[in-house]
């Protein structure tokens, strides 16, 4: 959990309780200020370069591998997966992209396999080639 979310949870609870004692209007203004503060904390802590991790499950991993490598110019990791219902073995492509590349990745995957299953999640920090330099 990020520092901004932690601050928002604890302070939000205090503000909501204070809203019962004072006035709901003052509590709403305080919650707006708290939202801005927590987003600012996360921005300062994480910076502008937010990244996403995409897990792509597809029956056409061969095509997608080529497209991600050469069209998107990104590396990826292949993971072994098994369908929970079918038990069928599937390859899962794990690729890290910048926030600005997310829509390109989704379009690319959809153009090669409209039935692909994509899971996108935030990556709090990515170190390595193409991202933030490794710190020693």
69 and 110 share a domain? yes
The span from the first CA to the last CA of the chain, in angstroms, equals 24
pLDDT of residue 18 exceeding 70: yes
pTM greater than the 0.85 cutoff: no
21 and 72 share a domain? no
pLDDT per residue as tens digits for the range 81-116: 988 888 888 889 999 998 888 999 999 999 999 999
Give the H or E element holding residue 78.
strand 77-82
pLDDT of residue 3 exceeding 60: yes
C-alpha distance from residue 69 to each of 22, 98, 101, 105, 108 (Å):
58, 15, 13, 11, 11
pLDDT per residue as tens digits for the range 66-78: 999 999 989 899 9
Structural domain of 57: 51-123
Using pLDDT thresholds of 50, 70 and 90, give the confidence band for residue 39. Answer: confident
Within a domain: 15: yes
Q: How confident is the model at residue 130, as a pLDDT?
A: 65
């Amino acid at each position: 959990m990020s520092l901004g979310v932690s601050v928002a949870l604890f302070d939000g609870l205090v503000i909501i309780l204070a809203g019962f004692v004072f006035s709901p209007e003052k509590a709403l203004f305080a919650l707006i200020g708290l939202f801005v503060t927590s987003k600012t904390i996360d921005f300062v802590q994480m910076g502008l370069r937010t990244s996403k991790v995409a897990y792509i499950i597809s029956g056409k991993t061969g095509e997608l591998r080529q497209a991600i490598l050469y069209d998107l110019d990104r590396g990826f990791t292949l993971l072994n997966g098994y369908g929970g219902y079918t038990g069928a073995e599937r390859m899962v492509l794990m690729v890290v992209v910048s926030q600005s590349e997310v829509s390109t990745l989704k379009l690319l995957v959809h153009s090669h396999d409209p039935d692909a299953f994509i899971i996108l999640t935030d990556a709090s920090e990515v170190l390595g080639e193409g991202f933030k330099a490794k710190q020693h």
